[in-house]
Amino acid sequence: MKFWGGLLVIVGCVSFVGFVFVAIVSKLFPLSDNPIIQAIQNDRYYCFLAPLTLPALLVAVYFHWLSMKLFKHA
């Protein structure tokens, strides 16, 4: 179980670092000749995806908490 937990934490950290690179850091570098990096630098979707999903996530977490409270005290 510790192996799978550690693996999931590492995968989450790598995913977070990759997202930060794509959303923020790649925009700060000069334009590249590599077509993949150039597509990442010109992308305007993923840099707004996480900030715009945070309000929906907060509402979902609140409703989850509320439903657990109602279930426990019913």
Q: Could you report the per-residue pLDDT of 64-73, keeping only the tens digit for each?
A: 999 999 999 8
13-31: b (≥16 Cβ within 10 Å) or e:
eeeeeeeeebbeebeeeee
pLDDT at position 6, please? 94
Give the confidence band of 14 by pLDDT, cuts at 50, 70, 90.
very high
pLDDT at position 10, please? 97
Rounded percentage of the chain residues whose pLDDT exceeds 90: 43
